[in-house]
Structure 1
């Protein structure tokens, strides 16, 4: 055993004070990934800092400018919408209303420009606004004169209509008188007098008709909208005025017509081209032309202002769009860098996970787990990965040491079992040896007496005894050697019989009754390995013998059953049973209830792992004060 431990110590590698092991490698990988995360945070922070700067500039500069551009554009559009209707107002009230709106909007524009006068582009708009205001004053003057003249002409027209009405009222009685006089003079036979009355009647009616015509022409002249229409109406009005003047002169000798002549002259005075309504109409037309020219100038100024405003708005929008593009570029740059860092992080993490964790750590851990499972299952040839300079290398060395120790312990347990069976083995061998000595002495005597046939019979008996001894020694050597890992069909009943043959002396010496129940067919095949299967039977039957030691009723039952491709081995005893708290630990290594020095506590643990390695199951079937039964279930060959 000391040699074994010495070899085990030699296999362990010296421990270095410091090494670049799994912890250090994973820490380095963690630092690398954290470093990528920190770099990503820094890149994100710088990108968002740049974006924040662009957004701040947009908030502090571009947004006010866009708001100013919007207000400026609206103010220009408001002025432009009023300009087109300002010169077309038909009354002073309408003009004053439009002019008030125009003035208010112009004041809004000027105030807006003055608020942003610090900008050179905005300051250039102020002179245009001033020109528009100056032109508006000229429009006010021209419009005021025009509306004054129009109001005067409307007043004159109203007066002429009243004069015309009075003229008709004055002319009707005179016409009636003339008719009466004509009839009277005609009855008297005064033809000359009647003719004179007829002439007065014609002159009066002509005055009335020409006065009516002149009044109508004056009304038409007042409503004229073009120079051609005004000149044409003036020509007709001049002819009518001349005829009216001649007819008024023909009535000068008629005292009764004085009122008619006065009213007709008032109409004639308003028809005068130099002092009457035609003169005021020409003045009104000149003011209309001036107003139209001023309106055109105002439209030009407003259009220029609109173009300047549009240029300013476009510049502001371009500046805002440029700021937006810079912000978008900052976002895109940050996004690209973050994506690149994320991809690089994923690649590094994937490389670490695949090449180191998966292909190195996990592969070695799987090999170690497989080796540990093989060791626990009793497979001594399970491969263990070569040790490296890390923690798994320590585990590999520890598993190698554990396997060596386990193999030595298992072998020691088997040798201990053989040691316990030594007395029985000696008994088994001593009986044939004693019989051999007797047969040799008898054969010598018979040969000496010349009874060769009887001596040959003794020799045959001696041959049988030596064969029996050879089989016994062969069985013991087979049980003591290391098992094979390859599973094959094995006769469970034969394994039970071999185990009983090794423990037969204990049944005799300890006066234990054996109840054996094997199938009548005699062969029960299961998938196992002969030596290890026999070891399971030896362990279970040996534990049963230990359990009945000191009991009044010492009986051990061994039964083999078959059912639906499965074989069952049941080992029963009449011992004290297993305590309820120990049932869950009876298959743990080194667990034992025997006195110190009576066992290592490995029998059931080794049996458990062997049965699991065979693909079977082992369990405590039942236990109590009357005894315990263990059940082993094994698969049959397919």
Structure 2
């Protein structure tokens, strides 16, 4: 049997005898055994098939229904206890909405499975719960309306109390003045009358304050005993207040005080005031508690019936499983001999063809793929043969080329992002050149050749600076060499900082630089790719501090025995713990859409691994992140 895979060489297709065809040919014998096994299995498993069909058609849907039914009942039971204890209309509405949603879920589930035997008994219970819930809504609505009215009355009483105090203070001062005057004039009876008015006025104020406090306590009462006790005190205070108000009727100056005190007295009335509303609110609370108890009873009954339905479904499923297990045991014994013979034939095929041919080549391909994806020096790719593994060999070769192209593209993309800064670096010397040219022309016109020559020397220096900048950009943009050699890490970091210098200025970022002075730090690397790693890490650090109040990037190089370290830190938000394992993955980024492809750290990781070094997150947190790169020194 020929493999019908079509291989294209140039423009002429040809047929090939690939791995698929070889395996088909090799496993013909096993297929024969499989056919025999199928015949035996069909005879043995016919019974099993029937049992499995019944389990699939009947038991599995019933078990799924039982699981969903149990959850729906548990959800309703969980919210029942807290519904009656809601202390505000908003809290009650939120709990009520949750309760309604869960009850609707249960009813939809019961209606969807109306054919189940136990569903008929559950539907009336759910409807009874819904009806009882509506009655609870009425009681709760009345209760919360009364409570809101009482809170409004209490607020009004506090204002009335404040006005009463404000009106009483000047009257008390007047009475004291009158008492002193009458006493000096020897009018003892008049002074005594003023004293009695003072006592009546102060008593009105104190009793009004006491009544207001008792009303506030009454509104917050939670038990019948507490309400009755407070009502008794409030009645005594109201009687005293009424008596004192009456004693002030003949004093025209106290009319405002009397009006304010009567408003407090009106709210103290057991028939029409706040005590009456409190009694009504307590009655509604009691009704709500009774309805909640009835609701709890209905939910408990619903839970018992759901539990009985689930137990019945589980028992039916268990019986079906036992019948299926018996059918499996019967078929197992019949297939042992065929399985042993099939294993012997498959072992021979696996050793002589799969192990000694296919697996050996696959291992070589896996080693090469791991080296390519891990950024390690490329392992040899086995030569392509005329089969599917040969196609994989060619694909890995192309993948290695694509990886190198991706590194180059990322580097050019970084140059594109730095284009504005590079333009700024070139525009400054150009502007200076124009100024020096104009100045030199003016000096030459005035016959001052020496000063003009000085301007020309400055122009020469500026052109040299521009040439160095363009040479640096070209060097960074060119394709790197594969050969590693000793490279000055300090110089590579300095070159990277020169490409990003404009961002530090434009974004007002402070640079903390710690580099060895007048002593190179040599590492085994390739200069262009090493500079690309530094650009990626410093650029990421600049991105991390963009929206921070404290914008600081630190770059430090440290040399040890035959080893060098580069540490790049920032004062950004840090890396979330959930993202720590993914920061070096290709295309992983936390930046907004359009701000990056998530390739910088992945490419840097592969480059450092290719150098035989290591890159890791040194530390991270709310105050910033530091990356550590370790590189080998020259031998």
**TM range, normalised to the smaller chain?**
0.3 to 0.5
Query: What's the TM-score, normalizing by structure 2?
Result: 0.47
Query: What's the TM-score, normalizing by structure 1?
Result: 0.47
**Larger-Rg structure:** 1
